[in-house]
Amino acid sequence: MNIVSVNDLAASIRQARKKLGWTQAELAERSGVSRDWIIGLEKGKPSLELGLVLRTLKALDLPLSIGRQGQSAPSDDVINLDDVLNTNTEGDEQN
């Protein structure tokens, strides 16, 4: 699925959660966020922290790839979510 809006991302996350049979509370626990935060994410709230969105995608085992429309991302351009999340976490610890 091509994600072109916050609402597209919200629908994808909600669909994946339901497919796994998880409640919003279960996804929140697995992602380390509150249920209210998951509700906001699934409603398409545009001001959510990207690091937490990425953590939620990881909990759902939803890969995120970026490429030009109509082209798949070359393997050299794949973003490792673990690296992104670890970098964000390390930066938070220093502040």
CB-CB contact of 58 with 85 (8 Å): yes
For the ranges 10-19, 20-29, 41-50, 82-91, the lowest mean pLDDT is seen at 82-91
Q: What is the DSSP letter of 73?
A: P
Q: What are phi and psi of 90, to 5 degrees?
A: -65, -40
Cα 67 to Cα 77: distance, rounded to the nearest angstrom: 8
Sign of CA dihedral 46, 9, 12, 57: negative
Domain boundaries, the chain: 6-94
Residue with tokens 């490792």: 80
Average of per-residue pLDDT values in the chain: 83
Q: Give tens-digit pLDDT for 55-89.
A: 999 999 998 888 776 665 555 555 555 665 665 55
Higher per-residue confidence, 39 vs 80: 39
60 vs 24, 76, 91, 93, CA distance in Å? 12, 24, 24, 25
Residues 6-94: name the CATH superfamily.
lambda repressor-like DNA-binding domains (1.10.260.40)
